Structure 1
Amino acid sequence: MQKESRANKPNVTEFILHGLTQDKTVAKVFFSLFLLFYATIILGNLLIIITIKTSGQLNSPMYFFLSYLSFLDISYSTVTAPKLIYDLLVEKKTISFAGCIAQLFAGHFFGCAEIFLLTVMAYDRCIAICKPLHYTNIVNKHVCAWLVAASWVGGFVHSMVQTLLVVQLPLCGPNEIDHYFCDVHPLLKLACTDTYIVGVTVAANSGVISLSCFVVLVVSYAVILVSLRTRSSEGRLKALYTCTSHITVVVLFFGRHKAFSTCGSHLTVVCLFYGTTICTYVRPSSTYSPHQDRIVSMLYGTLTPLLNPIIYTLRNKEFVTSLTLAI
């Protein structure tokens, strides 16, 4: 009985991360690159938050949601980027058991909350374009606050489920994680027990969230496009312009006019973003590929927070005007 009890207790106190590369020359290049990316993410998203909070013109629900999206981008990138940048300079990349679990929880918490928030933003654009006369009554300040709160709660519940599924597993070694941060599938590989049921549960949990949010996004923009068929060319172009920025961001925590062509290309990237997310989490751990997972993780973990400020500032005349006045 005593032997069995010891076997069920994890004896791993720290983990060794394999990181992105073992080549010192390549590591120095990655260090400079990711340091630049992370600094741009922080400064760019902080600029969005400060501009929205200090400007009296950017008080619509779209900018309210955008400020929280920028905060989530900063938080999500901070979960992995500082540790990654530091590890590129050191030879032995270690992380404590508690730090690893905290990184796992925070990554899924902020990532899932961002997925929900992007879905909320799609709903907001759908109401704004399809029911402009009733928009202020439907999406008022109280509704906005509740939608943001629901996104945070949804992210917390999802993250708790993923974390508890991993924590209860006996990790008897080895303690090497074939990744640059702590995530579900790399940790499942270290468990000294059958993880098939846990892997399927993890995939199902992530799958329900990713696929349902993706369906809501597709339906929202399908409704927008159908609604635009009844409008004039000028009204159609104006409405499409308001949705293209959000579609681009979703892509990079998922016709007869130039605007139709732009919207279509952005929607293609939406499929690409959700495709990478689904490929990472909506699959059994037995199909886990460390090399592919690193690439996919960098795509949605670094590229999205990096491009959000560019998309929402350079493409938005109202925001640029407010920023200019603030400066």
Structure 2
Amino acid sequence: MSKLCNIEELKSDAIENFINSVEVILFDIDGVLILHKIPIPGAIEFLEKVKKLQKKVFFVTNNTIYPKHLIVENLKPFKATEEEILTPNDVLIDYLDIIGFKNDKDIFAITTSLPKKLLRKAGYNVITYEQIQQTPLEQSISGVKNLILKGFEACKNVGLIYLDADLNVAAGNVQLAKALLNHSTQKEDILCLSGMSDELFPIGDEFKGIGAGYYINALEKWTKRTVEPMAKPGKAMADFVKMKHNIKENKKVLMIGDNVSTDITFGVDAGFQTLLVLSGCTAEDEVMPRWSYPERVKPDYVATSLAEVYEKMKNM
């Protein structure tokens, strides 16, 4: 079992070697740079420093709800541009092009409005539950059966089911997606992809909302289908990053994140160097003194926050 490398214990020459080994830095946003839209102490200074050191920086988020101009607004203190921001929405459109998904095939989408808008802009026909079931679903077994029969007719040309966060999701959405994947005549030819699939998301300091993970995981269980993620930690996101930014040497890329299951797993699987910061969703007692996650996703480095890293490297 390898020892977790704590930035606090490293000497300045080791930090310098670490930073010099990196050419591209990928930042998660919430919990790394900002918390509740407020910059985390030391994050601005760290970003400014690595830019002065001629590092390329990009912001890799699983947020599919906000358009890029709003993300840029949230990152205003960091002077981020839309071109530097990578989202699962970008990956999805690119992925469909790479696999040759035909725009004569329909997409059944369980998402918020933005992914649907971007898919339509890219030339795809998007079908939603609300188009099929325009009145409240009758609360009976026959009501569900009638929904499924209507859905089969409306979705007979569907080639993709896309699952993402949908704050207005109804049981009928999931009932229909399951039926299409299990029983429709074209079930073997239907792709199933996902965007933001977190099971929970923070609401201020006190509350957590239920994310799309609960129905994505349920559909995988019920249909025995693997849903291919477009978000971290999925391979499609890593391939998109490498292609878009012409990355040839994975170990010259550093992924900085606060979530082991998404950010760090993403970086490890992609072959990048990884830095876990404890300024977001991962608590110190989850990683030190004992690592409580799978050994294979242990990061290369851990720090309390980017401020700690900056203090070690500010004189470079």
Do these two structures clear the TM 0.5 threshold for a shared fold by scoring above it?
A: no
Where is the strand percentage greater, Structure 1 or Structure 2?
Answer: 2
Which TM-score applies when normalising by structure 2?
0.25
Which TM-score applies when normalising by structure 1?
0.25
